[in-house]
Chain A
Amino acid sequence: MNMFLIGGLAVVAVFALSIVLLYNGLIRLRNQVKNSWAQIDVQLKRRNDLIPNLVETVKGYMKHEKELLENVTKARSAILSAETVEDKADASNMLSSTLKSLFAVSENYPDLKANQNFMQLQEEITGTENKIAYARQHYNDIVMVFNTKIEVFPNNIFAGMLNFSQEALFKATEEEKKNVQVKF
């Protein structure tokens, strides 16, 4: 009788312990997800702060690219109003591609390209674009670990009960995925 009681208690204790470990692990991961999201957000803000400056600098030179500049400004404000991860990702990708065409078009304006201010802004923005890409990669890696952890059996049963749900990935554009070409 006693043996059964001890055995039963041991099983319950092991069960409770594993739930606690699962819960703590998930909390730790979710905080990492939040932290890496904050990293993306910081870089998005930084890029947004640089854009009015860029538009101001470019305006004087690019008389015939009004539409392009308007698109940049529009994409910038779309990021500000985006709420969810998906919306932010879409808006950010939009801004990235408009900026890319802006820098491509700037090749046609030698005066602009020689402008010290423009050169600095271009380096800043390219650097920030890269940082966004890295922050996105880091974020997606962690979200992947988190999502896998709450999806596998038996975690999926308890994760729902403990109020954990899937986090959204920050998706890259289709065009960007195609862009990686290996050349030597």
Chain B
Amino acid sequence: MRIMFDEVRSNKLKSWVLMFFFIILIGILGALIGAVYDSLIIGLSLAVAFGLIYSMTSLYSGDRMILKMSGARPVTKQEFPYLFHTIEGLAISAGIPCPKAYVIDDSALNAFATGRDFEHASITVTTGLLKTMNRQELEGVVAHEMSHIKNYDIRFMMLVTVMIGIVTLLSDFLLRSFLWGGGRHRRSSGGGSVGIVLIVLGLMLAILSPFIGKMIQLAISRKREYMADANAVVLTRYPPGLASALKKIAGDPDPLVDKANKASAHLFISTPFRKKTGIMSKLFSTHPPIEDRINRLEEM
């Protein structure tokens, strides 16, 4: 109980810190883009204003953006009574309000949770998962997602998802500005050391920021997946349920969720892309190896 509480606090704090650094990063990017077009101040202030608005929008409607982006649709109890009962039961077990239920019409076996707090949380599963899993297995998967909600992982992960998307877009824009605007700038003012420093700094940022985003994504999701697996077992008291669900997911011949993308990948219970092998893909995978997760569950 106590540990859970600390997780919640830490996730809330991390969310605010993330939003703070996001605004600073956007500000710097904006200032650099502004500098290229000869007005640093306008660029900076526009960017900070944009950063503020964007982070508030992310917090309050990031979940809707993510659900829309992933092609999830809300479902009624009549359509999937089985899914509803499972979600309701595990919400009782976790002692939190019942999250909303969504499905993605996709044959891949996957699931994710998102939202900003208990009252605005949702659990999404693919229809493939509903068809393939038995009751214990579905309970395991839903319990894993419920743990993400209970820990407030959902808030932080949602912010990371929507922010990584926009940072990647902006750095791309910055790179392009250097290619086009940079030339004009040199002609008009004759260059100068300040201009060069700006360009070098800008290039570094433009290249580094998606990379930083990727690093954040990696750091947050691997540890969280293990945590959520362990907490899922606290909810169901039945490790074999989730273990056998993960086995089915590992054996899924077509794990690609059509509408998943790089920004939202870390939300899912298992990587929503086709399997790759090799050291690089292991190092940069957003998820811990599924076999390792199964082993840990079987040792419980």
Contact = CB atoms under 8 A, between A and B. Distances in A.
Interface in B264-298: none
Contacts of B95: 36, 138, 142
Contacts of A73: none
B108 interface: no
Nearest to A135: B92
B88 A180 contact: no
Contacts of A131: 85, 88-89, 92
Interface stretch (A55-63, A122-130, A152-160): A122-130
A14 interface: no
Contacts of B82: 123, 127
Given A134-B90, A138-B93, A145 B1 contact: yes
Contacts of A36: 95
A104 interface: no
A3 interface: no
Tell me what chain A mostly uses at the interface: helix, strand, loop, or mixed: helix
Interface of B: 1, 81-82, 84-86, 88-90, 92-95, 139, 235, 237-238, 240, 244
B240 A184 contact: yes
Given A123-B82, A131-B88, A180-B238, A137 B244 contact: no
Contact of A137 (B1, B81, B86, B237): B237
A90 B92 CA distance: 21
Given A145-B1, A184-B244, A134 B93 contact: yes
A1 to B, nearest CB: 43
A138 B1 contact: no
Given A124-B85, A184-B240, 17 more contacts: A36-B95, A120-B81, A123-B82, A123-B85, A127-B84, A127-B85, A130-B89, A131-B92, A134-B92, A134-B93, A135-B92, A137-B237, A138-B92, A138-B93, A141-B1, A180-B238, A184-B244
Which 4 residue pairs spanning A and B have beta carbons closest together?
A127-B85, A134-B93, A131-B89, A130-B89
A128 B90 CA distance: 12
A182 B85 contact: no
Interface in A92-125: 120, 123-124
A133 B95 CA distance: 13
A12 B235 CA distance: 43
Contacts of A43: 92
A180 B240 CA distance: 11
B81 A182 contact: no
Interface in A157-184: 180, 182-184
A39 interface: yes
29 contacts: A36-B95, A39-B92, A43-B92, A120-B81, A123-B81, A123-B82, A126-B85, A127-B81, A127-B85, A127-B86, A127-B88, A128-B85, A130-B85, A130-B86, A130-B139, A131-B88, A131-B89, A131-B92, A133-B89, A134-B89, A134-B92, A134-B235, A135-B92, A135-B93, A138-B92, A138-B93, A145-B1, A180-B238, A184-B240
A130 B89 CA distance: 6
Nearest to A32: B95
A75 B139 CA distance: 28
Contacts of B94: 138
Contacts of A184: 240, 244
A164 to B, nearest CB: 18
B135 to A, nearest CB: 8
B240 A137 contact: no
A137 B93 contact: yes
A16 B240 CA distance: 49
